[in-house]
């Protein structure tokens, strides 16, 4: 577990150091929503280790979605790999995601317990200056 956390921190530091001008919102997006090695059974551990909670509180976040991809692939949705979707940008291709849903409502950190579900969906994100800053939703897509 310590090795995984160390690797995650190293990856996060590497991504952040690549561009010192990267916004804090993009860094928060990475921390909350990108995990290439995420699985449905790891929701509790990953959410706890990343200190993910409702904004500005100790309350457990009701739902958090992790995208199993690299930061560069996700960033490309804000460019050629995405299309407008209202005020958001929708990915052209589906992604493997893990949706973590709170099991114990009204819980507070550190007692958050989650049920994970793996899915393959297109995703809708908010982009600012070419960087993803908010995960909006996953989208069920049916080809015609």
Three-state SS string across 74-105, please?
HHHHHCCCEEEECCEEEECCCEEEEEEEECCC
To the question of pTM greater than 0.85 for the whole model, the response is no
Q: Dig out the tokens for 74 from the structure.
A: 């996700």
Whether pLDDT at 8 is above 50: no
Query: Of 101, 134, 136, 139, which one is the catalytic site residue?
Result: 134
Does residue 93 lie within any of the structural domains?
Answer: yes
Does residue 19 lie within any of the structural domains?
Answer: no
Of residues 2 and 49, which shows the higher confidence score? Answer: 49
The most distant pair of C-alpha atoms in the chain lies apart, rounded to whole Å, by 46
Number of structural domains the chain divides into: 1
Does residue 6 lie within any of the structural domains?
Answer: no
CA–centroid distance for 110 within its chain: 20
pLDDT digits (tens, 9 = 90+) for 83-133: 999 999 999 999 999 999 999 988 898 899 999 999 999 999 999 999 999
Whether pLDDT at 26 is above 80: yes
Contacts of 99 (CB under 8 A, 6+ apart): 63, 64, 65, 116, 117, 119, 138
Residue 141 a catalytic site member: no
CATH number at residue 74: 3.10.130.10
Tell me the C-alpha distance between 46 and 128, whole Å.
Answer: 26
Does residue 95 lie within any of the structural domains?
Answer: yes
Whether pLDDT at 81 is above 80: yes
Does residue 5 lie within any of the structural domains?
Answer: no
Please report, to the nearest 10 degrees, the dihedral formed by the alpha carbons of residues 63, 138, 75, 118 taken in order.
Answer: 70
Does residue 29 lie within any of the structural domains?
Answer: yes
The pLDDT value given to residue 143 = 59
Query: Of 26, 29, 30, 33, which one is the catalytic site residue?
Result: 33
Does residue 3 lie within any of the structural domains?
Answer: no
The pLDDT value given to residue 5 = 44
pLDDT digits (tens, 9 = 90+) for 54-68: 988 899 999 999 999
Tell me the residue range of the domain where 67 lies. Answer: 24-139
């Amino acid at each position: 577990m310590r090795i995984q956390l160390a690797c995650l921190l190293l990856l996060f530091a590497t991504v952040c150091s690549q561009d010192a001008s990267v916004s804090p919102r993009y860094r928060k997006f990475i921390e909350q929503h990108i995990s290439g090695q995420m699985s449905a059974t790891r929701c509790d551990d990953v959410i706890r280790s990343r200190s993910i909670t409702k904004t500005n509180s100790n309350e457990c976040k009701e739902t958090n979605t992790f995208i199993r991809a690299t930061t560069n692939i996700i960033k490309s949705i804000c460019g050629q790999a995405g299309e407008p979707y209202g005020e958001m940008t929708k990915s052209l291709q589906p992604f493997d995601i893990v949706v973590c849903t709170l099991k114990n409502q009204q819980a507070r950190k550190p007692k958050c317990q989650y049920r994970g579900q793996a899915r393959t969906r297109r995703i809708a994100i908010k982009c600012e200056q070419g960087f993803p800053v908010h995960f909006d939703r996953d989208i069920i897509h049916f080809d015609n």
